[in-house]
């Protein structure tokens, strides 16, 4: 953390006062989770907002509360139902942790959230910054937050060099965040940091002209907004290839429940493998394999690697109505949009269903309204 001529201690009070005044005049006041300071709703919004933009969160937040209006109802719901509502929001460990945390709170405290940020941070899937935000907005506790947006604001305003994720620098930024806390109006101050980071002090093309700190911000004065905060050291992401089987009787697709942990844990997904595995899955679900064809590779990028999905469409004729084994499930194509599927799998199924040429496997028969079965390869 490179020292600047300005003394941070002397700027602290002015920083918080200016931010609070700006938030009250220009900040956000009508977000759905701002209408009720119930800890369950605050917690839900904070978890959903991790790594996700506000505009994307709002419809998920609304639907989630319609289905699970109380923490107890969330705790008693099956994980599959929780993942189904989370489908498309990404970072599914958040949903699994949310469910486990609700169960813990119901079992240990009757569904009552602790007020102390340190106690909140011990719960599943809740880190130090999220715990502080829950304590601030639910109970008015004076606590500092330090998410990615706040790190960016502080790095630019106070001219802090270095990657904020490095442990030593992150500890220094936590100390700075603590020193800036106001004695009152903690909710407006915390919301102001969030609003400033998401709407004004953006990662690219910040709106410095609308910033309340434009006159005192070191990055703005030095023209180093593009350089601060220092980005994460780049690492080459490895690429993995995996075959995915789209086993279908044209009206439905065979899906497999993934293990509860790991990537896409607990979600429905496509079976993995190639031609040999396709024959095996057809036999396992009591179906006769009619046709197989490859689709173009489909790529998806995770945080730590690129995934090259190699889709194989396998058209089958079913002899029964259900999959033969636990963990396998036939899902109507009409349900694909709402099923607990990872976004890339849902996108891949849309591509497969659209077809590529006259061999449109999923085109309805115009006269009967039924699906038209392709001929098996000779």
Written as six digits, the tokens of 275 are: 């031609």
Of 6, 9, 10, 46, which one is the catalytic site residue? 46
Count of CB atoms situated within 10 Å of the CB of 25: 8
**Going by C-beta distance under 8 Å and a sequence separation of 6 or more, which residues neighbour residue 369?**
none
Using DSSP's 3-state secondary structure scheme, residue 287 falls into: strand
Long-range contacts formed by 201-207: CB under 8 A, 24+ apart: 201/149, 201/152, 201/153, 201/156, 203/152, 206/156
* Closest by CA position to 221, among listed 4, 22, 9: 4
What is the C-alpha separation between 232 and 304, in angstroms, rounded?
Answer: 13
How buried is residue 14: exposed, middle or buried, by Cβ count under 10 Å (0-12/13-18/19+)?
Answer: exposed
End-to-end, the C-alpha distance of the chain in Å comes to: 70
Sorted by sequence, the CB contacts under 8 Å of residue 13 that are 6+ apart come out as 182
Q: Are the CB atoms for 152 and 200 separated by under 8 Å?
A: no
Cβ 167 vs Cβ 6: under 8 Å? no
Compute the distance between CA of residue 259 and CA of residue 266 in angstroms, rounded to an integer: 6
Cα 83 to the center of its chain, rounded Å: 12
- CA 53 from centre of chain: 9
| Closest listed residue to residue 194, CA positions, set 11, 21, 23, 8 | 23
- How far apart are alpha carbons 143 and 141 in whole angstroms? 6
Q: What is Dmax (Cα atoms) for the chain?
A: 82
Please report how the helices 128-139 and 39-48 are oriented relative to each other, as an axis angle in degrees rounded to 10: 140
- Classified as helix, coil or strand, 240 is strand
Query: Residue 124, exposed/middle/buried by CB under 10 A (0-12, 13-18, 19+)?
Result: middle
Please say if 17 is a catalytic residue: no
Instruction: List, by residue number, the catalytic residues.
Output: 46
């Amino acid at each position: 953390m490179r020292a600047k001529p300005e003394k941070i201690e002397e700027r602290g009070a002015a920083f918080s006062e200016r931010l609070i005044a700006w938030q009250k005049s220009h900040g956000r006041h009508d977000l759905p989770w701002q209408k009720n300071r119930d800890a369950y709703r605050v917690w839900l919004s904070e978890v959903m907002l991790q790594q996700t933009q506000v505009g994307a969160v709002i419809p998920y937040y609304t639907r989630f509360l319609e289905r699970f209006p109380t923490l107890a109802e969330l705790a008693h719901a099956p994980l599959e139902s929780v993942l189904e509502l989370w489908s498309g929001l990404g970072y599914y460990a958040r949903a699994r942790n949310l469910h486990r945390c609700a169960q813990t709170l119901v079992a240990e405290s009757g569904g009552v959230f602790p007020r102390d940020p340190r106690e909140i941070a011990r719960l599943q899937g809740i880190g130090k910054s999220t715990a502080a935000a829950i304590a601030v907005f639910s109970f008015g506790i004076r606590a500092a937050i330090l998410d990615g947006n706040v790190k960016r604001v502080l790095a630019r305003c106070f001219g802090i060099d270095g990657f904020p994720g490095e442990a030593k620098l992150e500890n220094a930024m936590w100390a700075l965040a603590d020193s800036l806390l106001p004695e009152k109006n903690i909710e407006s101050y915390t919301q102001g940091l969030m609003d400033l980071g998401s709407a004004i002090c953006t990662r690219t093309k910040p709106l410095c002209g609308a910033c309340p700190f434009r006159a005192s911000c070191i990055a703005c004065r030095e023209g180093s907004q593009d350089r601060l905060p220092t980005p994460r050291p780049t690492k080459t992401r490895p690429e993995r290839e995996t075959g995915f089987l789209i086993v279908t009787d044209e009206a439905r697709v065979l899906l497999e429940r993934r293990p509860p942990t790991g990537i896409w844990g607990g979600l429905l997904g496509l079976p993995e493998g190639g031609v040999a595995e396709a024959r095996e899955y057809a036999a396992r679900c009591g179906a006769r394999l009619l046709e197989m064809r490859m689709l173009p590779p489909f790529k998806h990028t995770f945080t730590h690697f690129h995934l090259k999905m190699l889709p194989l469409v396998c058209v089958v004729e079913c002899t029964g109505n259900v999959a033969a084994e636990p963990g396998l499930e036939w899902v109507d194509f009409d349900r694909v949009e709402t099923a607990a599927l990872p976004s890339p799998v849902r996108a891949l199924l849309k591509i497969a269903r659209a077809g590529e040429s006259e061999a449109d496997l999923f085109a309805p028969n115009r006269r009967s309204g039924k699906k038209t079965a392709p001929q098996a390869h000779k």
